[in-house]
Structures are given as C-alpha cells and as structure tokens.
Amino acid sequence: MTDPQNPKAALSSDSIADEKLRLAELAVLDILDTGPEERFDRVTRLAAKIFDVPTALISFIDHDRQWFKARLGLELCETARGNPFCRHTLNHALVFRVEDTAADPAFRDNSLVTGYPHIRFYAGRAIRGPTGQAVGALCIIDYKPRTFDDRAQDILIELGALVEAELMRRPDWPRGAGHSIGEPGRPDPTGVVGHHDLIHAHVDRLLAIAAKVNHRLAILHLRLDNLPEFKLVYDAGQTQRFINRWLEDLQDKNTDLIYIARLSEMALLGVLDLADRVDDIRRRCDALRAQAIQTADINDITFVFNTTAGVSLFPDHASSAQELINNARLAHARRRPGDTTALFTPLMAERSQRQSLLQERFMRAVVNDALHFCWQPIFGNFGRTLVGFELLARWYDPQLGAIGPEEFIPLIDQQERLKRALVVKAIDTACRQLARWQTRHSEPPHIAINIPGSEFYREDFPDLVSSILGDHGVAGNRLILELTERSLIPDFEATAQTMRRLRQTGIHIAIDDFGSGYSSIAYLTELPISSVKIDKSVVQQIDRAAQRYRLMQSIVDLAHGQNLPTVAEGVETPAQLQLVTDMRCEYTQGFLLGRPQPLKQTDALVDRSM
C-alpha cells in the first residue's frame, strides 16, 4: 500500500542530495518562522474540504525540523525533521502516500503513528522553490485508512502548485545586511545535470523581485584566472573548500552581493544589488574583485585570486537571466586587452552574432569543401615581369557574399584541425599547380602561401611540407612560405631552426606584413629568410604622408643591407608604383597591377607572360 519506492518516480539524487542548495533555496524564500497567512490557510482549508480529511498542512523542511506554515487540525507547530513521511515526500516527484500506516511495516512503528497525531493515512506533495528545490510539503492526514486514486493525486498536485505560486508572490527581497541567499559551497557543480537551469531559475526570480522593487542589478561573470596555479599546489578537496570559504567570505563582506554561484570550474556568477546606483558600477565591481585575498583556515592557505569580470545590467541590457548571463560572459570575452572589468554593450552582441553566424556557415563550408583559392600576381618593378603569385584563401557564401581571410581566419584560430586542413589544402594546391607549370615552363612562377604561426611551429611542419612536395614531384625552390611578423615568437633560435630545415628543401621564406606591427630588425638580420613583404598600411600612404615614405625607404634600405629583396604590397595607384620603383623596391603586388583571380585566368596570364 505504500507507494512503491520506485526509483523512476523519485527525483534524481542530484537534486535532493544537495542539502545545502536546498537550504539556500529555503533561505531565499525567507518563510521560516513567519506568521500564519490567509493565502496559505486557504489552501489547507480547501484541501481538507476536497478530500474530507481532518488535517491538512503546509510545512517547510529546515535542516533540523519540519515547520508548519499552515496547519489545519494539528496542535504542533513543528516536528523533528527526521520523520519518514516528509523525507519521502521531499524525495518524491509526484505524490507520496501511505493508505494505511498500520498495514505498512515501514510506518506502523513510527511515533507519529503509534502516538500523537496517530496518522493512519498520509498523502503529501513536495513544494518546490523557484529553482526547483524541494523545500517543503503540502500534505493531508486522516486517522483512518483511506484509498487515494489517480484523480485525487492530480488534485493534490494542483493544490501544491497553488502553494508554489503563493511562494513566488513574496516581494520580500531585497532585505538588509547579512541576508545571504547564495549557494556557495556546491561541490563540483560542473557536470551536474540541470545545474545551470537551477542558477537561471534562481536569478530569474531575483530579477522578478528586483523589477517589483525597482532595483537595478549587475550580473557579473567573474573568472578566476589563476585558479590553475592554485590547483598545481593543492588537491581537489582543498581547492573546493578554499573556494567555498572564499565565496562565503565574499558574501559576508558584501551585503549587496545577493547571489553567487559557480558556473564552471573557472567562472563564477555574481548578482549585485545596485539599488538605484549605476554610475559607479565599474568601480564597485573592481572593488569586489580586489577582495580576492583570502586566508583560509584550511592548512593556513593564503592565496590571491586574479579575477577578471564582465558585467551586464538588469533591466538595461536584458530581462532574462539567460540573456543577462550571456551578455556578462560576452562582455568578459570581448573586454579590451588589459581591462579587468568590462561592461556589456549592444555592439558586443551584434559582433558576436555575426561571428557565430560566420562560424556556423564557415564550418559548413569547410565540410562541403567550399573554400577556394585566388591567385594574385606579383610583378618585378624593373621591366614589369610576372614573377609569381600569392595564393589567397577565399570563401564565397551564397548568402553573405565573399568573405576575406581577415574575417574567417580568426574564426578558426582555436580550431587546430581546421587550420591544419586549410594549410594542407593551400600547400597541396600550390604544389599541384607547380607540377603542371614545370612541364610547360622552364622558369615557372613562384607561389607564395600564408602560414599561420601555430602551424609553422609544429614539430612536424617541415616534414609535412616535404611530403606534399614529394607527392607532386616538385622541388621546393618555387615555393615561398609567408610568415607575418606578428606570428613569429621571439625565440629566434627555435624559429631559425625550423626555417633552416625548410630551406634545406629549397623553400623560401618571406616575412609578411612587415611594418604593420612590432617590426624587429632582428627578423631581418637573424633569420634565414629570402624576402620582405612591406605591409599595405605603409605602402598605401607613401604618396600622402612623408613620414610613411621615409619609413618605407628605411625598410627597403634595411632589407637591402641584408641582401633581401622587398615586395610592396597593396599598390593601388600609379603614383605609389612610381615611388616604390624609385626606392629600388624589387617587386609589386596590388590591385593596380593585378587583383586576386581564379586559376583559369591565372593560367592564361602565365601562358601569356612566360
């Protein structure tokens, strides 16, 4: 007769085992030890009438007691929490019932059955707080056995929903100092199913209350940047305890920090009650971040967390927890280098939307092999001879149009596999073409390929290039690998070593975009490179700004001092072409002489010129 202890009917142990989370939820509701209220008494009266029972109760389960908010037909105002009726109810997804306690060995010896109030029949439905934690129960009790069918169960479930709705209707927040409603101490929340749903629901409730009392909230995405350092020294248990202590401490010291939770290993979510302040939000967040020094009594650990934060505001930036949390995370991800706290702006969302759209469509393009290459000719400045091409990756999306590498390369920066695929495809395309050209021309044009630093520095990169050259039966001496100065690491010895290994197969190396970044003379003097490509940001200004003209001239002279020829990139006007030629710059690549073009035109140009 006892409802079978069917594990499927019971809630997952995750959502009930965490007593601390449950109690935090109860604390938010702030209902314990409040006086009787008509809106709850109404439900117990209704239940008693519908089921024709002498007793109906609404109770909340504190850590050591069961406390009654509404009680009809019962003298007690609280009982010890250990009683099995409420324990089962809390654990039960639907309705927990015992139709006859005297016939049920699990209950017949219980003191609430053998003594006051002599329960013979019990049916209870868990009451959940806003984030889904079972905080209490609505139950009906009789002193004689009863049957309880599915229809009765449905009604009790509905009545329970009424109680829950009443609970939500309490505009009792925010309160004064020391009102901690967070749930810091949740052990390893990462990977707990539904954890983020709980957090969202919790924050949503805070938003609803804030809207009612006209308060502004700041949603913080806080990152513990140097947590890995801590974990190098301390084990998982110590780390967990330390962070919990730190979070509790943070809440104790900041009464306006009304919620804090761990979103993931490294990231925390904080909610600050700004009341009607908003002007000093960044200062307030920085102050909060600065409280990172913690001396925990666990093994006398002292540690300073380096934290960075992204912040979004309610109601300014969004109205749902989900969006606000996303916005705060976005603000964090898009903060300027060096900034420790960044406030969300709508522009960030726009950019990120375009980026996710691009990302998604780009992945599809890669899968469908829809990337292709264009060939931009490079000419000698003395005699206007065709000397080679730069192979440029292009992506044409039917909806978005042509998208240049400056936009799609950053999309794959974190995607090693895609980057490698793109590089292999470029080298393969170049070698295949060289193989064809070398059968027709004694002096085929050079082909230059852009190589990302992360690929270049891979241990097996020189071997990869050699093997592709071998596949097509071509020598390396017509291939130029372009490396931007930004992508090179300051370890000249390591860089030079890789370059020397590549040079052994005859491959040339060019420094690309020279003059656009932290141009180092050492790149030109200490590395075994073959040419220097001068960035278009320099070249395109030489006919307008004297200072750029002098910079260009210095770079050319510097390169010549090392016996390195130069390529002027981005030449668009005859005036620019004249000036770079006068400077004795050897080669030109730019729209004036040739745009990036498809292979067919490239082949025709080669056949005409060579």
Binding status of residue 99 toward Mn ion by CB under 5 A: no
Choose which of 376, 429, 498, 531 interacts with ligand G (CB under 6 A): 376
Q: Which of 455, 482, 535, 586 binds Mn ion (CB under 5 A)?
A: 482
Q: Considering the complex, what minimum distance in angstroms separates the CB of residue 571 from ligand G?
A: 6
Q: Any idea what the Cα angle at residue 128 is, between residues 192 and 46, rounded to 5°? A: 165
Q: Which does 536 bind (CB under 5 to 8 A by kind): Mn ion, ligand G, none?
A: ligand G
From the list 153-161, 460-468, 520-528, 567-575, the region that binds ligand G by CB under 6 A is 567-575
By CB under 6 A, tell whether 455 contacts ligand G. no
Which residue lies nearer to Mn ion by CB, 455 or 512?
512
Paired with 58 in beta bridges are 70, 138
Contacts of 183 (CB under 8 A, 6+ apart): 20, 21, 24, 25, 202, 261
Interacting stretch for Mn ion, rule CB under 5 A, among 18-26, 78-86, 437-445, 480-488? 480-488
The span of 106-114, 342-350, 359-367, 564-572 binding ligand G (CB under 6 A) equals: 564-572
Q: Is 531 in the site for Mn ion (CB under 5 A)?
A: no
Interaxial angle between packed helices 38-51 and 150-168, expressed in degrees from 0 to 180 and rounded to the nearest 10 = 180
Q: Which of 116, 382, 396, 591 binds ligand G (CB under 6 A)?
A: 591
Q: Which of 327, 450, 531, 602 binds ligand G (CB under 6 A)?
A: 450
Greatest C-alpha distance within the chain: 111
The torsion angles phi and psi of 545, rounded to 5 degrees, stand at -120, 120
Q: Which is nearer to ligand G, 118 or 486 (CB)?
A: 486
Q: Which does 586 bind (CB under 5 to 8 A by kind): ligand G, Mn ion, none?
A: none
Q: Which of 186, 73, 97, 87 is nearest to 136 (CA)?
A: 87
Q: Pattern of binders to Mn ion over 511-530, x per CB under 5 A? A: -x------------------
Q: What are phi and psi of 463, to 5 degrees?
A: -65, -40
What is the size of the binding site for ligand G (CB under 6 A)? 17
Of 116 and 591, CB closest to ligand G: 591
Q: How far is CA 327 from CA 77, 203, 220, 340, 469, in A?
A: 46, 14, 9, 16, 48
Find the shortest distance in angstroms from Cβ 476 to ligand G: 20
Judge contact between 263 and 307, C-beta under 8 A: no
Q: Are 335 and 282 in contact (CB under 8 A)?
A: no
Verify binding: residue 596, ligand G, rule CB under 6 A: yes
Amino acid identity of residue 214, one-letter, is N
Judge contact between 328 and 308, C-beta under 8 A: no
CB of 99 or CB of 482, closer to Mn ion: 482
Q: Which of residues 508-527 bind ligand G (CB under 6 A)?
A: 512-513
Which residue, 101 or 450, has its beta carbon nearer to ligand G? 450
485 binds Mn ion (CB under 5 A): no
> Within positions 4 to 23, which residues make up the interface with ligand G, using CB under 6 A?
none
Residue 312 as a binder of ligand G (CB under 6 A): the answer is no
Contact by Cβ (8 Å): 51, 153: no
Radius of gyration of the chain, Cα coordinates, nearest whole angstrom: 35
Question: Which stretch in 268-276, 420-428, 497-505, 563-571 sits in contact with ligand G by CB under 6 A?
Answer: 563-571
Q: Determine the Cα–Cα distance for residues 325 and 195; give it in Å rounded to an integer.
A: 14
Q: Is 450 in the site for Mn ion (CB under 5 A)?
A: yes
SS3 546: helix
Sign of CA dihedral 226, 223, 236, 300: positive
Q: How far apart are CA 39 and CA 533, in angstroms?
A: 78
Structure tokens at 552: 């260009």
User: Which chain residues interact with ligand G by CB under 6 A?
Assistant: 376, 390, 392, 404, 450, 512-513, 533, 536, 569-572, 589-591, 596
User: Which chain residues interact with Mn ion by CB under 5 A?
Assistant: 450, 482, 512
